[in-house]
Amino acid sequence: MGEAAVGEGPGGASKLEVLSACFGYDAFRPGQEALIDALLARRDVVGIMPTGAGKSLCYQVPALMMEGITIVVSPLIALMKDQVGALTQAGVAAAFINSSLRPQEVGEVIRDAKAGKYRIIYVAPERLSNPLFMGFCTAADIAMVTVDEAHCVSQWGHDFRPSYREIARFVAALPARPIVGAFTATATAQVRADIAELLALHDAYVLVSGFNRENLYFSVKRPKDKMATLLEFLGQRRDACGIVYCATRAGVEEVCAELVECGYAATRYHAGLDDGERLGNQDDFVYERSRIMVATNAFGMGIDKSNLAFVVHYNMPKNLESYYQEAGRAGRDGEPAVCLTLYSAQDVETGKFLISKSYEDGDHDWEARQARQANDLDLLKKMTWYCTTSDCLRGYILKYFGEQAPVFCGCCSNCDTQFEAVDVTIDAQKVISCVMRLERQNRAFGKALIAKSLHGSKDKQVTGRGLDKLSTYGIMAEVPVKRIMDIINYLVEKGWVSQSNSEYPTLGLTERSLEVIRGKAQVLMQLPKLPKAAESEEGSEAQAGTQAGGRAGVGSGSRAGGKDGAPAGTQAGMHGHPELYERLVALRRQLAEEAGMPAYIVFSNAALNDMCRKLPRTPEEFLSVNGVGQAKKEAYSAPFTQAIRDYCNNSQGQAPRVP
């Protein structure tokens, strides 16, 4: 053991052996291996992977294979508690130091650390400038410093933490420079550059893993009654845990009260609650005394709860970065999960209001502030498009993050409602000719007014500006205004019409506009297929131009109330043993309570499902279950295999295996 080379774990174990023996997994997920290899070759790394991709293992595996101690800088107390709990369950000696410990407890941890008890120590960034802690680190062998949620170092990220700026100083003050690894889910170029610079990384290996999360089902609904839709959604998922995000504190209060009223074990979290209640509610959720957390975006960064079956956005969030991070908290265990957004036009107004409010006061650099505000509005616009597009939702997200995506993913509400391409070229020509006429008069208007004018609205805003005098006035009388807006949004998204970035965005022509006018481009828009009956009523040869109008109601209507193809409510996977699954869930809860641990730290749902598939009846068989390493085998094989044996022996119609 003394001569263990770099790249070998305790006793010379390989990284795969560590993965299997400690964590109970038999393969790395995409990106993990490359980052682990780089760290083991003593190179700094930046790992950018979506939430739930498995960043922790990227530094935990090498930490167990190196000589010396790994310090993990982590922003939130709950996060540290979770991670240390999970490591302890996996048989790894780990500890955390943060303000939740009393000074005496901190002293004990440091004393144990000095005695070589821990391989991995989690600390809050503030701790790095503490003399006692610094004294320990300079005397100890610190092999690696890992920065979790590394975007906190950048003021362009969404969770800037000034104390993260201490990290580089801390690393530089150590007698021997450790390897530094930085991990985050935030992918913007600016944040990435800040991470490398502000953490003073040396020639870092940067890995950006794919942003696709296959087990997530994306869904957008535009219901008239959001609460009714939410209740229907939750009613199909009675035994599942999840988060409902609201844009405002008032929204949280209202939704949470309603859910509690309807008998749901829901709790709430927002910055307006006092610390005690917030932490208490968070604990209730983590320990599953409450299944549903209703929260503002203040909730979640520190929560690694892996068994969330859904994340609902009751309001549209402010940008896709936040959205994907929040939605990505669903299904970290790899099990199917649903990410539902309930959109209304009012959400856009709320979003704009919140942005303008956040810039009300601040630094005095007016121009910089304007630039950032314009940027925020632009991000909000792209979020709105996500909610209104009829394209594949997954595709939209992936393209936003700069990835290629197929047109049809087959696992989102848009793909599921069986859209078909409808030719809206004639409608598009009408829109563009209206914009063109205005441009010739040196005038420009926003899409709402243009849509109303095309529809022939007698609205004062239209007539007052003389928009009823245009020759295009009323030429789309048969198409509802909302549908005209959809078409305009689509034209803007595809670059057939431009939209300015000003406070009141106006429409303009692009080079491609003329292609449409001249009939050189065909504009196809995804619209839901018509039900058979309606089709025959309308006549099979409906004019292309009116087709869009005729279908308007179908588009939003079916999405609003209709049944979606989202994964079913139960969290039991495809193994045909729902009854056993329920028993194992109960057993897990009991054992977790005894150990004072959240249930998902004892075993993930994925592990329970795997038990139902493999039906292990001996400790050795138990070890083959996904998520069972040596330590969990020792601790849990007896009660779980017992439960499985009982089930197999008692269940009728089952072909129990003979030991």
State the residues that interact with Mg ion by CB under 5 A: 55
How many helices (H) and strands (E) are present in the chain, helices listed first?
28, 17
C-alpha triplet 145, 28, 402: angle, nearest 5°: 80
Complex with Mg ion: residue 55 or 291, whichever CB lies closer: 55
Q: How far is the CB of 49 from Mg ion (least distance, A)?
A: 9
Q: How far is the CB of 455 from ligand ADP (least distance, A)?
A: 47
Give me the helix-helix angle, 345-358 and 366-388, nearest 10°: 160
- Gap between the Cα atoms of 565 and 612, Å rounded: 25
Q: How far is the CB of 50 from ligand ADP (least distance, A)?
A: 7
Residue 656's CB is within 10 A of a number of other CB atoms, namely 13
Q: How far is the CB of 158 from ligand ADP (least distance, A)?
A: 15
Phi and psi, residue 179, nearest 5°: -75, 145
Q: How far is the CB of 624 from ligand ADP (least distance, A)?
A: 14
Give the CB-nearest residue to Mg ion.
55
Q: How far is the CB of 24 from ligand ADP (least distance, A)?
A: 8
Among 194, 304, 335, 376, binds ligand ADP (CB under 6 A): 304
Q: How far is the CB of 29 from ligand ADP (least distance, A)?
A: 4
- Gap between the Cα atoms of 419 and 114, Å rounded: 63
Regarding 241 and contact with ligand ADP (CB under 6 A), the answer is no
Q: How far is the CB of 28 from ligand ADP (least distance, A)?
A: 5
- Gap between the Cα atoms of 451 and 449, Å rounded: 5
Task: Tell me 206's DSSP state.
Answer: E
Residue 566's CB is within 10 A of a number of other CB atoms, namely 22
- Gap between the Cα atoms of 505 and 520, Å rounded: 27
Q: How many residues bind ligand ADP (CB under 6 A)?
A: 17
- 53: partner contacted, choices ligand ADP, Mg ion, none (Cβ within 5-8 A by kind): ligand ADP
Region 25-54 residues binding ligand ADP, contact defined as CB under 6 A: 25, 28-29, 32, 49, 51-54
Task: Tell me 391's DSSP state.
Answer: S
Asked whether the beta carbons of 340 and 233 are under 8 A apart, the reply is yes
Asked whether the beta carbons of 594 and 636 are under 8 A apart, the reply is no
Q: Between the CA of residue 4 and those of 119, 120, 121, 397, what are the distances in Å?
A: 15, 18, 22, 45
Run of H or E including 309: strand 308-313
- Gap between the Cα atoms of 614 and 348, Å rounded: 48
Regarding 55 and contact with ligand ADP (CB under 6 A), the answer is yes
Regarding 625 and contact with ligand ADP (CB under 6 A), the answer is no
- 391: partner contacted, choices Mg ion, ligand ADP, none (Cβ within 5-8 A by kind): none
Residues forming beta bridges with residue 97, ordered by sequence position: 123
Q: Between the CA of residue 645 and those of 91, 610, 614, what are the distances in Å?
A: 26, 15, 12
- Segment contacting ligand ADP (CB under 6 A): 24-32, 111-119, 484-492, 543-551? 24-32
Complex with ligand ADP: residue 52 or 336, whichever CB lies closer: 52
Complex with Mg ion: residue 78 or 644, whichever CB lies closer: 78
Phi and psi, residue 207, nearest 5°: -125, 125
Regarding 182 and contact with ligand ADP (CB under 6 A), the answer is no
Q: How far is the CB of 319 from ligand ADP (least distance, A)?
A: 19
* Strands annotated E in 222-274: 241-245, 266-269
Asked whether the beta carbons of 516 and 423 are under 8 A apart, the reply is no
Give the CB-nearest residue to ligand ADP.
54
- 251: partner contacted, choices Mg ion, ligand ADP, none (Cβ within 5-8 A by kind): none
Complex with ligand ADP: residue 54 or 178, whichever CB lies closer: 54
Asked whether the beta carbons of 317 and 245 are under 8 A apart, the reply is yes
* Strands annotated E in 30-178: 45-48, 69-73, 94-97, 120-123, 142-147
Complex with ligand ADP: residue 53 or 294, whichever CB lies closer: 53
* Binding pattern for the stretch 554-593 against ligand ADP, x by CB under 6 A and - elsewhere: ----------------------------------------
Complex with Mg ion: residue 318 or 329, whichever CB lies closer: 329
- Gap between the Cα atoms of 290 and 284, Å rounded: 5
DSSP H helical ranges for 268-365? 275-286, 320-327, 345-358
Regarding 207 and contact with ligand ADP (CB under 6 A), the answer is no
Regarding 165 and contact with ligand ADP (CB under 6 A), the answer is no
Complex with ligand ADP: residue 252 or 320, whichever CB lies closer: 320
Q: Between the CA of residue 594 and those of 91, 95, 551, what are the distances in Å?
A: 18, 20, 58
Q: How far is the CB of 245 from Mg ion (least distance, A)?
A: 19
- Segment contacting ligand ADP (CB under 6 A): 23-31, 122-130, 493-501, 551-559? 23-31
Q: How far is the CB of 88 from Mg ion (least distance, A)?
A: 17
Regarding 306 and contact with ligand ADP (CB under 6 A), the answer is yes
- Gap between the Cα atoms of 387 and 521, Å rounded: 26
Q: How far is the CB of 431 from Mg ion (least distance, A)?
A: 45
Region 309-348 residues binding ligand ADP, contact defined as CB under 6 A: 332-333
- 306: partner contacted, choices Mg ion, ligand ADP, none (Cβ within 5-8 A by kind): ligand ADP
Task: Tell me 412's DSSP state.
Answer: B
Among 35, 40, 57, 110, binds ligand ADP (CB under 6 A): 57
Residues that bind ligand ADP (CB under 6 A): 25, 28-29, 32, 49, 51-57, 304, 306, 332-333, 604
